[in-house]
Structure 1
Amino acid sequence: MRNVKFPERRTRTAAQRDREFLRVLDRMFQTNETITARSVSRSVSGFSAATSITRDEWRSAQLAEWIKRQSHLRKIQEQADKQSKPKMLAKLEQKEKRIQELEQTVDILLSSHRAMIHAVGEVGGMKAWLKFYEKHQAIQQKLSDIGAIPSSVISISSNNDKSR
């Protein structure tokens, strides 16, 4: 059971009924059985009528919350059912295509980033580049983690760290 604050009851039996009440609500929700005060009261031993739930402020609030959840879930299921399988498959295919495009873009950007860093190093600008990243260690680490920094630069960077 999720973090529920149970009310104080006069008897241990009443407290046990509250716990059983929540278990019944959860079971009915999981099996998509319609949740009503009457249907729940029939499933909880010791509840003689729906008023055992509706008269109690805490139980009534819990019941309302679970009914709201079930209504929301059913609404989502209904929307999903309205979309035909071909439409859903087409949407999925579009999403997969977009993911492939983004992965290709990332690969291109990584390659160009490596090439630019290499070019900066060849013209003698590595000190400036390393100085910039002194203030941005997290970014430098992330670039290194994703392979955007050539290994020759990583070795230069670690040599500079040791010389300090």
Structure 2
Amino acid sequence: MLDRMFRANETITARSVTRSVIGFSATTSITRDEWRSAQLAVWIQRQSDLRKIQEQADKHSKPKLLAKLEQKEKRIRELEQTVDLLLSSHRSMIHAVGEVGGMRAWLKFYEKHQGIQKQLSDIGAFPSSVVPISTNPGKPQ
């Protein structure tokens, strides 16, 4: 019974054990018997030690967890800024390629890579002056 109570994190006292064990009607059934009383004391101490360790771990881990969360949020902001920079750069490069007459070759390359073209379009990597290639070359979009 003591092991079950310990594992379930139920507070172990003579009264709680008495309520849990059929056949014990009073706490003195436990406290007067030397062996039972000693076993109760051992399990109460084990539970106390475990709870102290848990409490210390909670105190130490919350600040660490918050610091780690803050680092992750900072990293996400940095990555979002990088993505914004790369999108802007990508749009500018596509626009520059179009201005020097290389747009046809660029579009021909992406004709074979419709999945990439769709992803770039979905994230807004194409400048507004570029119309994505149709998957059916014979049909206008």
TM tier relative to shorter chain:
0.5 to 0.7
Mapped partners of 1:131, 1:150: distance in 2: 17
* Structure 1 residue aligned with 2:86: 109
- Structure 1 residues without counterparts, runs of 5 or longer: 1-31, 35-77
The RMSD of aligned alpha carbons is 2.4
Q: How many pairs align?
A: 86
* Structure 2 residue aligned with 1:131: 108
Distance 1:86 1:129, change over 3 A: same
Aligned residues with identical type, % of pairs: 78
Report the structure number with the largest CA radius of gyration: 2
Say whether residues 1:99 and 2:76 are aligned partners. Answer: yes
Residue 130 of structure 2 aligns to a residue whose secondary structure is: helix
Structure 1 segments of 4+ aligned residues over 6 angstroms from their partners: none
**Which letter maps to 2:117?**
Q
Mapped partners of 1:83, 1:132: distance in 2: 55
Equivalent position to 1:144, from 102, 111, 121: 121
RCO (CA 8 Å, sep 6+): is it higher in 1 or 2?
A: 2
Residue 129 of structure 1 aligns to a residue whose secondary structure is: helix
* Structure 2 residue aligned with 1:51: none
Mapped partners of 2:76, 2:95: distance in 1: 29
- Structure 2 residues without counterparts, runs of 5 or longer: 1-6, 10-53
Q: When the two structures are superposed, what TM-score results if normalisation uses the length of structure 2?
A: 0.54
Q: Name the one with the larger helix percent.
A: 1
Deviation at 1:82, TM superposition (A): 7.4
Residue 120 of structure 1 aligns to a residue whose secondary structure is: helix
**Which letter maps to 2:77?**
Q
- Deviations along 1:94-153, one digit per CA (max 9) or x if unpaired, are 000000000000000000000000000000001100110011000001000000011211
